Chain A
Amino acid sequence: MVDAAAQPGSLVAFGVGVHFEGLRALEAVDLRLARGEILGLIGPNGAGKTTLVNVLSGYQRPSEGGVRLDGLGTAGWQPHHFARNGLGRTFQAARLFPEMTVLENVEMPGVGLGLSRRQARARAEALLSDLGIIHRATVPAQALTYGEERLVGLARALALTPKFLLLDEPAAGLSPHEARELMQRIAAVRERFGCGVLLIEHNMQVIMRLCDRVQVLARGKTIAVGTPTDVQASTEVRQAYLGASGDAGIAIAGKAAAAQAGQALLAIENLVVDYGSARALAGVSLSVCKGEFVAVIGPNGAGKSTLLATITGLVKPKSGTIQYEGRRLGAEPPARRVRDGIALVPEGRRILSNLTVEENLRVGETVRRGDPEAARRFEHVLATFPVLRSRLKGYAGRLSGGEQQQLAIARALLSGPKLLLLDEPSLGLAPLMIEQVYETLVKLNEDGLTILLMEQNANRALLAGDRAYVLRHGVVELEGPTATLRTDPAFDQAYFGFDAREGIATH
């Protein structure tokens, strides 16, 4: 417990709770960032990291607890009060002013602090030289590459001469080389300005190399604080990411069928996808055979959702091929692919909450309307998810998270898929619910449905699937039968990206 008393020289959050309409995003979280320190903030998707940064920078008012900045109480402050009192932050997206030059972008905070234009310019130029991008000073921000954008975003935050700097995923979307360079810049910034740096990052290498201390959030609570080595060794942390390792009992009874070298239903070759100048997938190849249950496991930002968006036709690949049922997919729109049997259960479920449960299911049936099988399929799906039957007339937004997940799966099944794609079905669910969802998936697979699943919850996915791929930074790092991967010492290296000797102490 951090003392709520004034602590000059540090940024302190005490007992912070944030509630969004029934959802507890944060619960009694304490955090202390001293000047000159680099503190890593990590945690799986939905842990509350960005919410905490929003609280620390005044963008989100906490429901409980509060923040002290350099010994000052911040109750009632607006974000610009935080900024003027020495708090700089970057956003997940760089949010530069696209039409202004790089120099103008970086001058802006200085002008806002009341410097003359000349002083602000001098400071901006110095920062851009420090960060090694002064040669791009006169270029409009929209012409920057993605990596440069991140650096300019950092320069702009530094132009406030912050005492504390909050960086929200600065390395997201950077190449390993760029990420390494950014790490050096951040370390240099700390040396030069003596400011405290809070770093949210999914790139574990960045976190482990750079941070003095690491704080781990999961489900809105702090589950560990300590040196990188301590945190790496913590089984709790490992579980928060990979899910509880439940090797007891849940062995999957004979699905030998999948082991057969069946015919490929989906075959992806060398898929490359860019978002603007950021590379999301860098040459991914994978295949799914008929009747198989394949898991793609990887941390946040690995490219899992992008992979699914490309298979469903929401995103166009830059290069590479996707073959489905032996036919190469080209420009078919998503609706066409659904008709051909590719159904997606999207991340976060994307229930149509203003529609009733029944209407949601009818939406799922769109491509099979008039199909003689439709009525039977509808009954079958309701039999699989009996809880939905009792809620048919109720609004879908009223369902609990687990029920919504079932509805999302039911909706996808009603399109009569041959290939069911799922994006992190365990996200935000209680352990018991996760178990139930997985049991359903295994059952569906045993009944002959081909499944391709994206998961962060590696342990659960490795128990259910036949084969798995480990995806990190848009590259397949490891693949093999799940039975092998479960015990493969190379798995952690592939998932977290640690050097072997720095690796998490398991067992």
Chain B
Amino acid sequence: MIALQHILDAVNVGGLYALMALGIGLIFGVMRLINFAHGEMVMAGGYAMAMLSALPAPAVIAVSIIIVVALAVAIERGAFRPLRGKDPATLLVASFTVSYFLQNLSVLVFGARPLPFAFMPGLAEILEIGGLRVPLLQFVSLGLTVLALAGLAILVKRTTIGIELRAAAEDVVTAQLSGINVNRVIALAFVISAVLAWVVSLTYSAQIGQLSPAMGVRPLIIGFVATILGGLGSLPGAALGGFLVGAISVLLEVVLPSETRPFREAFLFGLVFIILVVRPEGIVRVCALQERV
């Protein structure tokens, strides 16, 4: 039973990191940009839901999604599009800038003190299933994660726009020469990554029970590590990396003696480090990123 509980935990935590990793991986794929402002999408989603919580739940969900998507598109237009084709370092610095700007804007508007996150308090309810005590939230987040992953997989694999997305991710010039509107494809990648970030907002905010301007940083860092671990540029790799990091972190939680638990993340990153020494290109190798000597 305990084992089952741990597996459920691992899948849940892993799912959250997988969603983060996919959001980061999608943007990296089409723009070769590591979007550190992705964490602030999560933060924005959390605050949006908290501010709107007087409305009926479906309205809260719909409006908060729209807000996060609009924010992502605005960032793409305002900050990243003008820099497209510039040095990757420039793009990286720009994404840090946007990230800090949004964090500080949030301090300005909502204050630096954490706010309680009370949207859908029913999520905290504990279900008893055959001796297992599981919060409803775990099922909801599991369901949402599965839905988001399946939706993304269908979109990317089955639809025309998904093919265009993958084409642009592999070779922008060939995509252009085939008549693909690269602007539209990149904007779409930002929209999808925003929706993924929103799913994380809901489950992550509900898990930690509070909102703060810097709340997006931790999932971003871990999601980023998961992207690298999975193989930068590969979407299945990103998902795999996310679940792997989740599984490792739950495993460490279980096996580490309690006095070392505060250093759990040090162990986690240490393990990731070792994996990357053995397999520097990540779990899934992407041919398109290999440079000719």
Seen from chain A, the residues whose Cβ lies within 8 Å of a Cβ on chain B are: 50-51, 54, 59-60, 312, 314, 333-335, 338-339, 343-344, 346, 350, 352-355, 359, 362-364, 366-367, 369, 397, 411, 415
Judging by beta carbons under 8 Å apart, are A366 and B174 in contact? no
Residues of B within 8 A of A415 (CB): 178-179
Give the number of chain B interface residues (Cβ < 8 Å). 21
Contact of A369 among B160, B166, B175, B176 (CB under 8 A): B160
Q: Please measure, in the bound complex, the distance between the C-alpha atom of A127 and the C-alpha atom of B111, giving whole angstroms.
A: 63
Judging by beta carbons under 8 Å apart, are B287 and A366 in contact? no
Judging by beta carbons under 8 Å apart, are A366 and B164 in contact? yes
| Nearest neighbor of B163 in chain A, beta-carbon distance | A359
Judging by beta carbons under 8 Å apart, are B178 and A354 in contact? no
| Nearest neighbor of A362 in chain B, beta-carbon distance | B163
Judging by beta carbons under 8 Å apart, are B177 and A366 in contact? no
Task: Given contact pairs A314-B173, A314-B176, A366-B178, enumerate 5 new A-B contacts (beta carbons under 8 Å).
Answer: A334-B176, A334-B179, A338-B179, A346-B174, A353-B170
Q: Is the interface of B mostly helix, strand, loop or mixed?
A: helix
Q: Give residues 265-293 of B contacting A (CB, 8 Å).
A: 286-288, 293
Judging by beta carbons under 8 Å apart, are B166 and A352 in contact? yes
Residues of B within 8 A of A338 (CB): 177-179
Judging by beta carbons under 8 Å apart, are B177 and A344 in contact? yes
Judging by beta carbons under 8 Å apart, are A59 and B174 in contact? no
Judging by beta carbons under 8 Å apart, are B164 and A350 in contact? no
Tally inter-chain residue pairs, CB-CB below 8 A.
Answer: 71
Question: Residue B195 at the A interface, CB < 8 A?
Answer: no
Judging by beta carbons under 8 Å apart, are B176 and A335 in contact? yes
Judging by beta carbons under 8 Å apart, are A363 and B287 in contact? no
**Nearest CB of B to A110, in Å:** 27
6 A-B contacts (beta carbon < 8 Å):
A335-B179, A338-B177, A364-B178, A367-B179, A369-B160, A411-B178
Residues of B within 8 A of A352 (CB): 166-167, 170-171, 174
Contact of A354 among B170, B175, B182 (CB under 8 A): B170
Tell me whether A350 and B173 are in contact in the complex, defined as CB-CB below 8 angstroms, given that A363-B178, A369-B160, A411-B178 are known contacts.
Answer: yes
Question: Residue B181 at the A interface, CB < 8 A?
Answer: yes
Q: Give residues 154-211 of B contacting A (CB, 8 Å).
A: 160, 163-164, 166-167, 170-171, 173-182
Shortest Cβ-Cβ A-B pairs, 4 listed: A367-B179, A338-B179, A366-B179, A334-B176
Residues of A within 8 A of B176 (CB): 314, 333-335
Residues of A within 8 A of B167 (CB): 352, 355, 359, 363
Residues of B within 8 A of A411 (CB): 178
Q: Please measure, in the bound complex, the distance between the C-alpha atom of A333 and the C-alpha atom of B173, giving whole angstroms.
A: 11
Judging by beta carbons under 8 Å apart, are B287 and A354 in contact? yes
**Nearest CB of B to A337, in Å:** 9
Q: Please measure, in the bound complex, the distance between the C-alpha atom of A364 and the C-alpha atom of B293, giving whole angstroms.
A: 29
Judging by beta carbons under 8 Å apart, are B181 and A335 in contact? yes
Residue from A60, A343, A359, A397 having most chain B Cβ neighbours under 10 A: A359
| Nearest neighbor of A314 in chain B, beta-carbon distance | B173
